[in-house]
Amino acid sequence: MKVHKFYIVGAALVLGMYACTVDKELEYSHDGDISFSANVGKMRSRVLNNQWEGDEQIGVSLGENTASFKAYSIATDGTMSTTEEPYQWEGTPVNITAWTPLTDQEINLTDQTTEQKLYDCDLLFCQTQAESKEVHLQFNHQMTKMLYMLQGHGAYTDEEAKNARIYFLGYGAVTYTKGIINPIGDVNTPINPRRIDDANGEAIMVPCEMWDKPLIKVEIGGDTHYYTPRKSTIVDGKTEEERKTGVLTPGAQQKYYIWVDKKGLTVNMESSSIGWDNETIKDDEITDSKFKINLDEKVQSLQPTLTNIDNNFISNSTFSLSYTETGIGGLICEGICDMVRTISGTTHTYTFSNIASDIQIRYIDEYVAVGDYYYSDGTWGSEATKQDCTTLGRVFKVGMDESDDIKNYDGLSKIRGYVVCTSTSIPNGSYAWIKAADGNYKSYLSQLNGLTEDDRQNTEKYLGYQLTKGIESALNTFTSDNSEETLATEFPLYDTFKNLNLGSPDNSSGWYIPSIAQLQDIMSSGIYNDNDSYWSSNVYTEISGEEVARIWAWEYNMSDGTEKAGWASDPRKLILILTF
């Protein structure tokens, strides 16, 4: 059973934040069959080639009783099928439970030394409600992903540290029955992790509490050391109970920073609900559990004065940076924190607080801040209004996103940031991308100029401008022999956007529909208060044979920050942004 070739994104409906939005419909031969769908290869990948092996089995049950279930298999192209009689849609909502791997054998957790072995230990579960015969499953990680990072080795030599062996201790095997984990044996079984490099490794473990039980074992220089989490132990001013160091949380990724010397181990832990993506850990990126700052070359050239910074690490709950500004420039930061700028003459001071991640600081020639108001004359500022101008929107991201390129835009000479439209000119209604996702006009969106199918489903890149332009080029050719079938009736979201005719300054891209990655950053900025779902410009096709079977699109829910793919014929709200 191999479940390691796809990545789970989006929001779980029941058990967590790690999900695989499964978005390609499988047509069965009977009209009443419930159609389960699966897609791989079009989303962020956890590991390897991002596709199904073709021999995975998923258990699926209907209703509250999971004693009866059917086995579904997934082909390499993501289609799901069963050799049993498919479930039938009865016309009323029904609860769906699904899990993988589907096996009655013990799953051994002790050897996770390769990516294959590691992700064979990844147990997935889904519980949702079917409201039609097309069901889109969203799976959750049931296990805990553990990472160790050897930060220092005291009197041990570099060679001894390089050859050190680090193990986690926990349950060594489980059975996975109908989505329920059943641990086997004692909780002190050594788990051999996948070794990322000489100092870092990872394993997938059974969620449980490990208070007063050995959790980490280090063999180094002929010595063996153990780390045992204890609720009363204080690390950096907090007890381990407060830090939940001994709690292995389902669906979480937990990083254990380890210092070893002849006296024993010191361990700190950071838990994250961020995805289980592959990550490359470099020796100079994490030196201890404190957060790090990184100054770009321009900031360093300003010779700033720093407080509460020790060897590029933040040594307190706040820190500040001051420098002399001779122009109209300023600093921007990337990371989770609050930043306040104060000015006294030419001295600019930035104070950072509520720090929850590493912080990268960059200098820009023209100072722009997230939350700044953007005016109709192409300028921006901290005031909600400007004389003789109309306020068009607010800045949700400063600087050019790393996935963007100035070449993507017509007429822009630089990218200062991105603005979300706050104008009341945008109607508050909901619109479908296309009236009938599988109707007569779906071929208009079969191809978008200059964009691949991967581009159209990419949820990580700033592609909204190119996607909107591609859609515009495709739909500008729309014609119909039926006078009642117009662009407005068949492609209502685009027609609404086209007819808004919102003005935009010359030094901007003009308004366009954001991609999923841009919608994510709009919500992260905290400046757009809404609880509705919005269509992105990530519109793509489902191909059956050589024909377009249906049009799909990615939507973003502002209430909980989740994205998912759905039929483009569903109504969602319209949101617009521009690049300046």
Per-residue DSSP letter, 88: B
Residue 337: per-residue pLDDT: 78
Closest among 98, 50, 111, 94 to 72, alpha carbons compared = 98
Instruction: List Cβ<8 Å contacts ≥24 apart for 13-16.
Output: 13/126, 13/127, 13/128, 13/138, 14/127, 14/128, 14/140, 15/125, 15/127, 15/140, 15/142, 15/250, 15/251, 16/140, 16/141, 16/250, 16/251, 16/273
Q: Is the pLDDT of residue 281 over 70?
A: no
pLDDT digits (tens, 9 = 90+) for 221-271: 999 999 999 888 776 667 888 888 999 998 888 999 898 988 788 888 877
Helix residue spans in 68-142 (DSSP H): 115-119
398 or 4, greater pLDDT: 398
Give the C-alpha separation, 382 to 364, whole Å. Answer: 17
Instruction: Kindly state the tokens that stand for 547.
Output: 């024909």
Q: Is the pLDDT of residue 313 over 50?
A: yes
| Sequence-ordered strand ranges (E) for 68-143 | 70-74, 80-81, 94-100, 107-108, 124-130, 134-136, 140-141
Residue 341: per-residue pLDDT: 86
Element (H, E) at 256: strand 253-261
Sign (positive or negative) of CA dihedral 413, 419, 420, 422 = negative
Whether residue 544 contacts residue 446, with contact meaning beta carbons closer than 8 Å, is answered with: no
Closest among 248, 33, 17 to 144, alpha carbons compared = 248
Q: How much is the average pLDDT of 547-553? A: 90
Sign (positive or negative) of CA dihedral 473, 479, 483, 484 = negative
Which of 128-142, 164-178, 257-271 reaches the highest mean pLDDT?
164-178
pLDDT digits (tens, 9 = 90+) for 210-224: 998 999 999 999 999
Q: Where are the domains of the chain?
A: 35-105+116-141, 144-272, 293-364, 430-579
Residue 289: per-residue pLDDT: 43
Residue 237: per-residue pLDDT: 66
Residue 494: per-residue pLDDT: 96
Q: Is the pLDDT of residue 519 over 50?
A: yes
Residue 246: per-residue pLDDT: 92
Give the confidence band of 51 by pLDDT, cuts at 50, 70, 90: low
Residue 290: per-residue pLDDT: 62
Residue 182: per-residue pLDDT: 94
pLDDT digits (tens, 9 = 90+) for 369-423: 888 999 999 988 888 898 999 999 999 998 888 899 999 998 888 899 999 999 8
Give the C-alpha separation, 53 to 49, whole Å. Answer: 10
pLDDT digits (tens, 9 = 90+) for 456-512: 999 989 999 999 999 999 999 999 999 999 999 999 999 999 999 888 998 899 999
Q: Which fold has domain 144-272?
A: Immunoglobulin-like (2.60.40)
**Average pLDDT taken over every residue of the chain:** 83
Within 13 Å and on the Cβ side, how many CA atoms surround 168? 33
150 or 424, greater pLDDT: 150
Residues 6 or more apart in contact with residue 156 via CB below 8 angstroms: 164, 220, 221, 260, 261, 262
Q: Is the pLDDT of residue 10 over 60?
A: no
Residue 9: per-residue pLDDT: 31
Residue 273: per-residue pLDDT: 52
Phi-psi region of 202 (alpha: psi -120 to 50; beta: other; left: phi over 0): beta
**Pairing, β 319-324 against β 330-334:** unpaired
Q: Which fold has domain 35-105+116-141?
A: Immunoglobulin-like (2.60.40)
Q: Is the pLDDT of residue 23 over 50?
A: no
Give the C-alpha separation, 141 to 123, whole Å. Answer: 6
